[in-house]
Amino acid sequence: MGIQLIAEIANAHQGDVDIAIEIAQKAIESGADAIKFQMYTADDLLVSSHKRYQHFKNQSFSKKDWQYIFSSINTNKTKVYLDIFGFESFSISKDFDIYGYKLHFSDLGNQPLLKLLAKTGKDILIGSGGATVTEISKAIKIIESTGKNKITLLHGFQAYPTKIEDTNLDRLKFFKSCFGNKVNLGLSEHIEGDNILSKVIPIMALPYGINVIEKHVTINRAAKGVDYYSSLEISDFKGFVNILRESEKAIGCAENYSEDELNYRKTVKKKWLCNKDLNKGDILSEKDLVMKRDDSEIISLSLEEILSKKVNINIKKETLLKKSFFESKVLAIVVARSSSSRLPGKATMNIVDDPTIVHLFKRLQISLDRGIIDKIAFCTTDEKEDNELVELIKPFNVDIYRGETENVLKRMSLAFNSHLDYDIILRITGDDLLIDPEYLEKGICYHKENNLDYTDC
């Protein structure tokens, strides 16, 4: 899932319901994943004697106003979040189909309100600007102990506008170290809307692993209405959406290589070739080698895989060096135990008078006799029940290694660490009783001809 972009309407509506609806609809048309309103009453926010009491009373909407707003927005197609600032606004919010709530940092200590929001089961955004780690931690614990909500911690605060240096993106890294996988992270960015960095900084936050970006929007910045400071005009917001979606592609995944990058590697990477004709029996040194590009799909061996090797055929100048040009030793490791979780007891199951594991070793013996493989090792556990397996394979020319029950790789390592002069390791499961010598040989040849590190037969 990509970044969820929330268009924050805040008080850009100037107390006019029609403007609120217009901003919301245009934000949705511009590509916002969700919109967010601030639902409050003046009495939720302030004491009546506060100098801004009347301002917020004028800006706030009545329950009837909210009914009109929600009836004009298709909440089936659009996620709507609400900032809730008190019990009165929470009570109003319950009448509407909303996707989630945001709790302002100023209410982080309001435990009764936190519990009410948590009991809804809806997504909760937590504003962290100005909050201490202790306050945030307590709020998260209350939500976790009350409900099963998806929590997103939003970094950022509104300073009308916020200074560039106060954006402090590195705090996202700090939050990750504090809260791990308990919460998702998001950015609530509030620098000046006409500054180019108001579009750049959210993009810079993408590598911090954020899931949400909250962005203020307005109809007309020039009017300098309430909350215009950090708001993008709708036309700029649409451009920002496009930049964000393209930028998300650039983050990618550390483990993945694109087809184009793999093709680039194939075409550009140099490979080790011989810089002169070589004769069978020559021992390779650096003076025999050169690195150049060639047109084949075959990967190059490393220098360590080539030096001091004796070639087993005549080789023409500028030939790509392959594993098949050198003698190699092949170790076949059979892995089996009696209480296999996948096929318990199969190794000792009789077929035509012999246990299946005996059939397997008989067929491997054919490969050994033909020189397809050079050595067989058997890896099983220290459990008493696997003594039977050890006795069954003793008649064969096999090295036996026993180790931990649950750690298959560690058991195998006992075998290959004792055969460090071998070049190819075959891993064979104990239930592969029909292993075919000719097919095995083809697999080994394919592996050597293509200079592969790993081949699945």
- Taking Cα atoms as reference points, which of 297, 305, 309, 233 lies closest to residue 272? 305
Q: Which range is least confidently modeled, 80-84, 152-156, 259-263, 275-279?
A: 259-263
Alpha helices in 147-251 (DSSP H): 170-179, 197-204, 234-251
pLDDT score of 1: 57
One-letter-per-residue 3-state SS of 384-431 = HHHHHHHHHHCCCCEEEEEECCCCHHHHHHHHHCCCCCCCEEEEEECC
pLDDT digits (tens, 9 = 90+) for 323-369: 999 999 999 999 999 887 777 778 888 888 889 899 999 999 999 99
pLDDT digits (tens, 9 = 90+) for 403-456: 998 899 999 999 999 999 999 999 998 878 788 999 999 999 999 999 999 999
Structure tokens at 307: 């030096």
- Taking Cα atoms as reference points, which of 165, 84, 66, 177 lies closest to residue 122? 84
Mean pLDDT throughout 140-159? 93
22 within 8 A of 229, measured Cβ to Cβ: no
pLDDT score of 415: 94
The secondary element (H helix, E strand) that includes residue 287 is: none
DSSP string spanning 12-32? TTTT-HHHHHHHHHHHHHTT-
pLDDT digits (tens, 9 = 90+) for 271-284: 999 999 999 999 99
Dist. CA 262–CA 176, nearest whole Å = 33
- pTM summary value: 0.70
List phi, psi (to 5°) of 338: -65, -40
Pairing between strand 271-274 and 289-292? antiparallel
